[in-house]
Structure 1
Amino acid sequence: MKITAIETTRLKSHPNILWVEIHTDAGITGLGETFRGAEAVETYIHSMAAPLLRGQNPLDIERLHKILLRGYLGFNGSGVETRAASAIDIALWDIFGKLTGQPVYQLLGGACHERMRTYNTCAGADYNAKAVQRRLVQAGAGKARGRYDDQVAFIESPAELAHSLIEEGFSAMKIWPFDAAATATDGQYVSAESMRQGLEVFEKIRLAVGDRIEVMCELHSMWNVTSALSIARELKQYRPFWAEDPVKMDSPGALADYRRGAGIPVCGSETLAAQGSFRDHLAAHSLDYVMLDLSWCGGLTEGRKIASLADAYQKPIAPHDCTGPVVLWASLHLALASPNAIFQEVVRAFLATFYRDLVTELPVLEQGFLLRPTAPGLGTELAPAVKADPEAVIRRTELS
């Protein structure tokens, strides 16, 4: 079997997402996806990656992974080269599954879990909708716009939000009430008023539902170590499940300093790429939970190595998804095949809205758990309406 063409698709309505389809002479097409910098990744795929795939066997996944991810550029960051390699790698695994008639998790060694526990990242449907930055919500934003405007809800009505999630079967939620404060000071200090406002969100949730739901605190790498520690010491009383990306994740030593003083578990990081970055953090004892994004770290091939590395350090993993539905599918397969996976992130607002329009099938979410898929490959395809969109940008490079 040979790779005959590579095709990319992006939509102006979802400018962050790029879909990659790899075509073969066997009539099997694999689907991949990456996020942010979609136009730049598209250009790189057609100008640089496509010639490297010409005439290649799509089942030589590890070899092609090495060529694309460990080339001269991109191997030590999550930039354009790595994002392109990630999307292509996911598509190759999709081909492998379709050829063998097996779900991808089976090809990764088989399922370790009957189903995968999720937590809801409390974003709204338009979170990450802009090409450059995510939506920022501050106190006084007003009422939530509908049931799933969770980013406004966790600021304005956190108790009601927690009850809503519990009613749907979720046992964990993630919020980021300190982001506006970090934006105001560039993360250099946190005022007493901002500290109180951020902590009130956690307090209201605990008073409303007690310990019936776990609460993660996302800090988006926006703080310096001193300020992040100040937040952690006050936050500890509300028993957060973890503090995620409290500082920039480019210094394992700085994060280790934070972890020693914080007194709460540390999760990181969707921003890290390739196993070497995770190795350095694990060796520095800076992480309690390992989060990885398959569209940024090197795809499923690199993701399973990172999961195994975390397992060697006896650390659980929780794959990231706040990006696109294909990566959610790939992440679910990795989580199901990883003995140390404890969560798969989901955004219920995405699942209930635009994700439905982008792919033919979504993972089945049932009472806070994602069920094991049975279809071969990833289990989904691009929805026909995506390419039929008059503003779709479709590029195809023939490789035969």
Structure 2
Amino acid sequence: MSRIQSIRTIRIGERPNLLWVEVSTDEGLVGLGEAFRGAAAVESVIHESAAPLLLGKDSRDIEAFSRTLLAPYVGFGGSSAEVRAASAIDIALWDLKGQRHGIPVHEALGGKAREKVRSYNTCAGYDYNTRSAQRRDIGAADQSRGPYDDQVAFMRDAGALAESLLSEGFNAMKIWPFDIYAPATQGVSITLSDLKAGLEPFAKIRRAVGDRMEIMAELHSLWSYPAALSICRALEDYGITWAEDPLAKMDDAASLAELRRSVRVPICASETLGGKVAFRDLLIAGATDIVMLDLAWCGGLTEARKIAALAEAWARPVAPHDCTGPVTLIASVHLAMHAPTAMFQEVVRATLATWYRDLVTSLPKLDRGWVLPMEGPGLGAALLPGVAQREDAIVRESRR
């Protein structure tokens, strides 16, 4: 047996959107998971709803826990607090499984399908997505805080940014220059002048580096169907790799399928969805070319593996999401090494080079734009001890 003795959560004031969960067993092992967005709400779900179901139980029963935690009477709708709590716990249980057997999580999942996976750099800044509010209005006039403040860089000179990325071995990048134009109409429409301004970074990249750089367009679920149609059709001339999350409701499979049939750019969907059924519905509708999933939002590794299998059955590649926290990235790398149809692993060089290092003992290694497998048992990383001792740390524990 491997009975769960305690479940501890940790969050810090500096990164209020992040929550870490540590699941401890009577073997002396500690599994690590992570949740993102609504950290305090997820913390409550873990201690008030999940902990009573898990404490004293056998941590090896990952599938049973997944089915229990992902089927609450209330709360299973997209990436709710309940689903995010279940995702964090699931990742921690897989970490325990790998540690128990002395093997990496990707081996526990069934082994590697590849020795490395391509990465693309999401051109975010140092604090993107981890504060309580997320700025979408960053423009060329904003001041750069360092060499990897890539959101400022793509609004200022996307061509120079592409050259910088190529010099580090990246040959794929993701940008979102249309975001700043959505608030004017709440995404219902986009003017011709704003459309042309949003296209300029793509033009600069092509002028600077030609076809040596793949470009992904992130649309952040901001647009109505007509606006998304205009943007996607305008992007066709730039040979982009995909347009990601173009519609305001990414579980609207019918509208997304209609959009996909009407444009020549590949559609990528969607980090915002929770659970395999939502992805099944997109695939049945013919609504996406690339399946993007976030392990901290979709149900953890257990559910992600099933979603990847669905994608494989529909001959669709998968691309795990990372623009949130280091543990989700680490778990995603394990999935990307295992899943046969993994296409890319998203990374953010700004966070890899800075605050991710301050939180965990190890991070994925990159070699000229390729992500290498994590080493060591389980996830291959643990939360640094000092994180829970920080002055701004909020630590809560449920014990058997």
Same fold (TM over 0.5): yes
Following superposition, the deviation at residue 201 of structure 1 comes to: 0.7
Cα offset, 1:390, TM superposition: 1.0
Give the AA of the match of 1:226: P
Q: Distance in 1 between matches of 2:37 and 2:163?
A: 33
Matches within 5 A, 1:28-39: 28-39=29-40
SS for the counterpart of 2:46 is helix
How far did residue 83 of structure 1 move?
0.4
Residue 298 in 1 paired to residue 287 in 2? no
> What secondary structure is seen at the aligned counterpart in 1 of 2:322?
coil
Counterpart CA distance in 1 for 2:78 and 2:273 is: 7
Q: Which residue of 1 aligns with 2:380?
A: 379
Query: Which residues of 2 match residues 176-191 of structure 1 at below 5 A?
Result: 176-191=176-191
What's 1:324 paired with?
325
Corresponding residue SS for 1:216? strand
Shift of 1:188: 1.0
The letter for the 2-side match of 1:46 is H
Aligned to 1:42: 43
Partner of 2:392: 391
Measure how far apart 1:78 and its partner are: 0.8
Return the alpha-carbon distance in structure 2 between the equivalents of residues 384 and 76 of structure 1: 34
- The question of whether the paired residues in 1 share the 8 Å contact of 2:333 and 2:374 is answered with no
Please state how far the C-alpha of 1:320 moved relative to its aligned partner: 0.3
2:260 corresponds to 1:283? no
Matched, 1:226 2:226: yes
Paired amino acid for 1:123: A
Q: What is the letter of the counterpart of residue 191 of structure 1?
A: T
RMSD between aligned alpha carbons?
Answer: 0.9
Residue identity opposite 2:342 in structure 1:
A
**1:106-134 CA deviation, whole Å, 9 max, x = no partner?**
01110001111100000000111321x32
Summarize the Cα distance change of 1:48–1:154 in structure 2 as closer, same or farther, 3 Å threshold: same
**Alignment match, 1:357:** 358
Task: Return the letter of the residue paired with 2:66.
Answer: H
Within 2, Cα distance between the matches of 1:319 and 1:54? 30
Counterpart for residue 22 of structure 1: 23
Contact 2:8-2:21 within 8 A present in 1 as well: yes
Q: Which amino acid aligns with 1:322?
A: C
**Distance in structure 2 (CA, Å) of the matches to 1:395 and 1:292:** 29
Q: Residue 114 in 1 paired to residue 115 in 2? A: yes
Please list, as runs of the form range in 1=range in 2, the aligned pairs for 1:196-211 lying within 5 A after superposition.
196-211=196-211
SS at match of 2:341: coil
| 1:74 Cα offset (Å) | 2.7
What does the per-residue CA deviation read over 1:259-294, in whole Å, with 9 as the maximum and x for residues that have no partner?
Answer: 011211000100001000000000000000000000
The residue correspondences of 1:25-174 to structure 2 (distance < 5 A) are: 25-131=26-132, 133-174=133-174
**Equivalent position amino acid for 1:168 in 2:** E
Q: Find the counterpart in structure 1 of residue 344 from structure 2.
A: 343
Deviating 4+ runs (over 4 angstroms): none
State, as a whole percentage, how many aligned pairs show the same letter: 55
CA distance in structure 2 between the aligned counterparts of 1:348 and 1:386, rounded to whole angstroms: 22
The residue number in structure 1 matching 2:239 is 239
CA drift of 1:394 comes to 0.3
The structural deviation recorded for 1:143 is 4.5
Aligned 8 A contact 1:137 1:151 in 2: no
Q: Is the 8 A contact 2:45 2:85 kept in 1?
A: yes
Out of 321-330 and 134-143, give the one that drifted further: 134-143
Distance 1:137 1:147 in 2: 20
Aligned match of 2:367? 366
Conserved? CA contact 1:143–1:156, under 8 Å: no
Q: Deviations over 1:59-81 (max 9, x none)?
A: 10000111111232233321110
Code of the residue aligned with 1:30 in structure 2: it is G
Query: Partner of 1:157: helix, strand, or coil?
Result: helix
Give, in angstroms, the shift of residue 391 of structure 1.
1.2
Is contact 2:125-2:148 (8 Å) kept? yes
1:10 is aligned to 11
Deviation, 1:84, is 0.3
**TM-score w.r.t. structure 2 length?**
0.98
Q: Matched residues in 2 for 1:143 and 1:193: separation?
A: 24
How far, CA to CA, are the matches of 1:174 and 1:256 in structure 2? 23
Question: In structure 1, how many angstroms separate the alpha carbons of the residues matched to 2:256 and 2:149?
Answer: 32
Q: Indicate conservation of the 8 Å contact 2:257/2:287, yes or no.
A: yes
Aligned-pair CA distance for 1:145: 2.4
Which amino acid counterpart does residue 49 of structure 1 have in structure 2?
A: A
Code of the aligned partner of 1:242: W
TM-superposed CA distance for 1:384, in Å, is: 1.8
| Contact map agreement 1:137 1:152 (CA 8 A) in 2 | no
The DSSP-based 3-state class of the residue aligned with 1:5 is strand
Q: Distance in 2 between matches of 1:254 and 1:267?
A: 14
Q: TM-score, normalised by structure 1?
A: 0.98
Question: Structure 2: how far apart are the matches of 1:344 and 1:213?
Answer: 16
3-state DSSP class of the match of 2:211?
coil
Residues of 2 paired with 1:60 and 1:142: CA distance?
A: 50
- What SS does the corresponding residue of 1:211 show, helix, strand or coil? helix
Q: Conserved in 1, the CA contact under 8 Å of 2:175 and 2:216?
A: yes
Q: Is the 1:59–1:96 Cα contact (8 Å) retained in structure 2?
A: yes
Question: What SS does the corresponding residue of 2:6 show, helix, strand or coil?
Answer: strand
Q: CA deviation at 1:210?
A: 0.3
Deviation by residue 1:127-183 (Cα, 9 ceiling, x = unmatched): 11321x322244342442221000000000111100000000001000000001112
Q: Secondary structure at the match of 1:260?
A: helix
